[in-house]
Structure 1
Amino acid sequence: MHHLPLWLQHAMGWSITSGPLYWGVMAVVGVGLVVLAVDRLARRDVRALGVHVAAAAVAGAVGLLAAWLVSDVIMVFGVSLGWTVIGTVAAGFAALGFLAGAIRRTRRFARALAVLLVPLTVVACAMGVNAAYGEFRTVGSLVGYSPYRRIGGADGVDVRRAAMDVTRWRDLAARHRLPSMPSSGGIVSADIPATSSGFRARTALVYLPPAALSDEPPALPVLVMLAGQPGSPNRVFAASGIEAMLDAYAAEHDGLAPIVVVPDQNGASTVNSLCADTAKVGRAETYLIVDVPDWIRDTLPAAPSGAQWAIAGFSQGGTCATQLGPRHPDLFGTFIAVDGEEEPVAGSRQQTIDEYFGGDEAAYRAIVPADAITAHAPSDQTAVLSAGADDRTSVANVRIIGKAARKAGMDVTELAVRHAGHDWHAVNETLETALPWWCDRVGLAGDAGGSADGSSDSPWAGNEDLEVLG
């Protein structure tokens, strides 16, 4: 899709969570509602305006009740939607109620305007809900647009294996003799062979910092990051802001930043693999801990796995991080999870055990994060567990998994993100601090980096949007 005309590629990059398009839609709807109200007043039809307002109040109340029931009572999505989303839905219903009254009791221009505003109001409400979550950030993200070139091939990006270590790279930087490299990193796509697992994964995405794109790259730390479900590898880069964060870090550290590999752990947006080897979905865990690491080592300028590698994720991807990290300490020295579950489920717990593990509860419990941590204790791994403060279930999960991790001897940080719920805003705030902190820990900052044992909590205390729980 990167062969689209330039004007369309530009349009795909328009923001739908802020900026001219977002505020333009909101302004058109707002001004349109004001025009309808002024039109009634100008005609001295106060009674009709009263009917419009009454319809808005009733519709808003219905929307508020419906959203609250779906969010906090029935919990259709497994987590609370949060009052920002509930309020946005209620406001959308109220506006539609006002417009319905206007359509019934006005004529000509006013009626035509009210009819035109109905779909725009639906779009504005959807944009408001999406802005609260940060799930889709651009027009392109709505249609799965991917502008990324592939690794290798005649038209692809040429990536070389490591030619030196980071210490040597910094020495060259001090003498102003670094190999040529771009001023910023880049995202590329790759189909990672499922040689051992046979798992049918979608195309992966990879962030390569400037140093990795040089002719003689250093061996760089690796962050494996997983999106939620429903979701895709593209969602990580579209919603998390991680590319800009690491470009900024690289700009201050001679082009050095970690490589970020975002594989597909589910095979489709509607599928939950549990990041496990199961009868229902296939060998997702083998794909993630054998096939993906083998491809990374064979293809990218990657540092040895273990202390130099981390796994991270959001929502279902965060659950995967707290499963796979503890189960494979030889691969991952650190795991970072945002809004993860206490237990991986697809439907009810018993349904998950029956459908995925043939009724074998012991096999299921082996992938439950707290149980996996206990089974592989003691451990010297590092765990960063975070949740949006408004997502009370995920905050409770942080405490449960954090307690097990601490008991196993891990270096644990538990965080709550203020003014966020089960959404990508929680991811953004967590990574804003966690990424530079982890980069420093794995030696990218040299002597200026943080303590190797992670004893200081100052990085977390320095972010006003993060509350350290434990």
Structure 2
Amino acid sequence: MGLTATRTVMLAVAVAVLLFAATIWLWPKLARRTVPAVLGRVGALLLTQVSVFAAVGLYANQSFGFYGSWGDLFGTETAPGVVIDHDAAGGRQVRVVGTHRVKVPGSAKPEVAGRIEKVAIQGPRSRIASTAYVYLPPEYFRPEFARRDFPAALVLTGYPGTTEALTYGLKYPQTAHRLVREGRMKPTVLVMMRPTVAPPRDTECMDVPHGPQTETFFTQDVTRAVSRHYRVGDKARNWAVMGNSTGGYCALKMAMRHPESFSVGVGLSPFYKAPQDPTTGDLFGGSARVRRENDLMWRLDHKPAPPVSLLVTSSEHGEKNYRDTMRFIGKAKRLNARGEPTRISSMILDTGGHNFNTWRREIPGCLEWLSGRLRSD
């Protein structure tokens, strides 16, 4: 059973409850002042506490996506990071390394449930390689759609999130499948990735001076590689980018800075400028200009408004980015009132924290909104 599987969490909870009940039941027999009784009490308390901590930890991990697998938890996961591949331009830029079923009814049939493919993507321009999970909707496998190119959305986690959290924690494929079935969303290919392509460094989706060219990787390499490998449109009108937390900042920034690649950007609880701390290192190469150009508030005030549609989310109570989000919305609305081509929408909850539970409440509406602004070719 996987680390984030519901069965794993339920088993841990059941074991904790049984050990707790056994401790209560056996406690009178362990109340004697003998060495075996004392050792029995110590053992019972230790086992009960460990089982409770394990159950709580597994539930918290499933909810917030700290670790995606047992290998990730114990440090044996060896996912590829930054790779210098001088033959990438001439070789395959997308290589399928595994397939997974979508956890919906009829999961054994791709034409009913769709399919998730784990792929390795090589970036010839950025010289970065990273893995992704590509959700292909059921329509992708049906004969009547065989000559159709689908719209696509690049979906990003926060930092240091795992890609698996997008499927098991935030349930993007399952949500998209349900929305299409209900007629609220067009069939869309989801390219699910983590923004941490140079682990453990947090590059904030930037082309770091003398460092990882993460922005180039996502805005040029990923979109072009996916469009060539899958039946996905290759125009900006075919592509959106969406993410939570750090991934939300990345999504807004890449849509605003690269309207030639993305026409839609969605930020769930986003930040509006890149931090500089021990996880990021020097992202700006000491350049005030580079720092300003990656500040989304500054861009709205000083750069030409790009022809993109943006959606931001926050919560009036419980989310620290609420005031910044309202400032961002206000700046974008003023641009729109002057006839500028940037369009802004928002989803503001009454209450909600910076966590998976809040984002799961926002994702259905955001996917529906996003789908309405993408085009199929």
Q: Residue 416 of structure 1 corresponds to which residue in structure 2? A: 348
| Distance in 2 between residues matched to 1:263 and 1:133, nearest whole Å | 16
- 1:188 is aligned to 2:117: yes
CA separation in 1, counterparts of 2:350 and 2:233? 35
Question: What amino acid is aligned across from residue 22 of structure 1 in structure 2?
Answer: V
CA distance in 1, matches of 2:52, 2:171: 28
Query: Does the CA contact (< 8 Å) of 2:332 and 2:344 recur in 1?
Result: yes
- The residue matched to 1:428 in structure 2 has which SS? helix
1:98-136 Cα shifts (integer Å, max 9, x gaps)? xxxxxx996254332112223212212313433553556
Whether the 8 Å contact between 1:307 and 1:442 is mirrored in structure 2 is yes
Provide the residue aligned with 2:190 in structure 1.
260
Q: d(CA) in 2 for partners of 1:105 and 1:225?
A: 56
Within a 5 Å distance, the mapping from 1:343-354 to structure 2 comes to 343-347=273-277
Structure 2 partner of 1:117? 48
Q: Is the 8 A contact 1:211 1:256 kept in 2?
A: no
Which sections of structure 2, spanning at least 5 residues, go unmatched?
80-92, 100-108, 337-341
Whether 1:222 and 2:183 are equivalent positions in the alignment is no
What is the CA distance between 1:205 and its match in structure 2? 1.9
Could you report, residue by residue, the CA deviation over 1:265-319 in whole angstroms, capped at 9, with x for unpaired residues?
Answer: 3224421112111136321111111111221232221224223321111111111
* Percentage identity across paired residues of the two chains: 17
**Is 2:243–2:267's contact at 8 Å kept on the other side of the alignment?**
yes
Are the aligned partners of 1:399 and 1:414 in contact in 2 as well (CA < 8 Å)? no
Match of 1:133 among 64, 76, 81: 64
Higher helix proportion: 1
Of residues 348, 355, 365, the one that matches 1:433 is 365
Alignment-mate amino acid for residue 275 of structure 1? C
CA distance in 2, matches of 1:437, 1:364: 31
One of 194, 197, 209 as aligned partner of 2:126 = 197
- 1:396 maps to a residue whose letter is R
CA distance in 1: counterparts of 2:4 and 2:63, whole angstroms? 17
Counterpart for residue 177 of structure 1:
none
After superposition, give the CA deviation of every residue in 1:250-275 in whole Å (9 maximum; x if it has no partner).
43559951111134532244211121
Distance 1:372 1:201, change over 3 A: farther
The residue number in structure 2 matching 1:15 is 5
The range that moved more, 201-210 or 104-113, is: 104-113
Report the Cα offset of residue 327 of structure 1.
0.8
- CA drift of 1:142 comes to 5.3
Cα deviation digits, residues 57-89 of structure 1 (max 9, x gap):
xxxxxxxxxxxxxxxxxxxxxxxxxxxxxxxxx
Other structure's SS at 2:259 match: coil
Count of residues in correspondence between the two structures: 343
Could you tell me how far 1:242 is from its partner in structure 2?
A: 0.8
Higher mean C-alpha deviation, range 105-114 or range 317-326:
105-114
Q: From the superposition, tell whether residues 33 and 307 of structure 1 become closer, same or farther in structure 2 (CA, over 3 Å).
A: same
Letter in 1 for 2:16: V
With the length of structure 1 as denominator, give the TM-score of the two structures.
Answer: 0.63
Task: Tell me: CA distance 1:152–1:355, structure 2 relative to 1, closer, same or farther (3 Å).
Answer: closer
Q: Partners in 2 of 1:269 and 1:365 — Cα distance?
A: 25
1:325 and 2:255 correspond: yes
- 1:246 and 2:176 are equivalent in the alignment: yes
Which amino acid is the alignment partner of residue 204 of structure 1?
A
SS of corresponding position for 2:112: coil
Contact between 1:276 and 1:283, CA under 8 Å: does it hold in 2? Answer: yes
Task: Give the distance between the partners of 1:233 and 1:284, measured in 2 at CA.
Answer: 16
Name the SS for the 1:307 alignment partner: helix
Compared CA separation, residues 256 and 431, structure 1 to 2 (3 A) = same
- Contact 1:338–1:426, Cα closer than 8 Å, also in 2: no
Which 5+ residue runs of structure 1 have no aligned equivalent? 1-10, 49-103, 158-179, 445-470
Counterpart position of 2:16: 29
Q: In structure 2, what is the equivalent of residue 356 of structure 1? A: 283
Aligned position for 2:137: 209
Bigger relative contact order, structure 1 or 2 (CA pairs below 8 A, ≥6 apart): 2
* Counterparts in 2 of 1:299 and 1:329: CA distance versus 1, 3 Å: same
The verdict on how the C-alpha distance between 1:24 and 1:300 changes in structure 2, with shifts beyond 3 A counting, is closer
1:315 paired with 2:242, answer: no
Whichever residue aligns with residue 245 of structure 1, its letter is T
Give the distance between the partners of 2:223 and 2:63, measured in 1 at CA: 35
Matched, 1:276 2:206: yes
Change (3 A) 1:263 1:114: closer
- Aligned-residue offset at 1:214: 4.2
Alpha-carbon spacing, 1:156–1:241, altered in 2? closer, same or farther (3 Å): closer
- Letter in structure 2 aligned against 1:191: A
How far did 1:230 drift?
0.7
Q: Note the alpha carbon deviations across 1:150-182, whole angstroms, 9 max, x for none.
A: 9667x978xxxxxxxxxxxxxxxxxxxxxx971
345 and 156 in structure 1: CA distance in 2 versus 1, 3 angstrom threshold: closer
1:390 offset after TM fit, Å? 5.2
Which protein has the bigger strand share? 2
Once the two structures are superposed, residues 220-270 of structure 1 have per-residue CA deviations (whole angstroms, 9 ceiling, x without a partner) of: 111111111112333322322110112223435599511111345322442
Q: 1:373 to 1:221 in 2, by over 3 A?
A: farther
RMSD: 3.7
SS of structure 1 residue aligned to 2:129: coil
2:298 corresponds to 1:366? no
Change (3 A) 1:13 1:112: closer
Equivalent AA in structure 1 for residue 120 of structure 2: D
Q: CA contact under 8 A between 1:315 and 1:338: conserved in structure 2?
A: yes
Residues 394-427 of structure 1: CA deviation (Å, up to 9, x unaligned): 2233223222322332332222345531112222
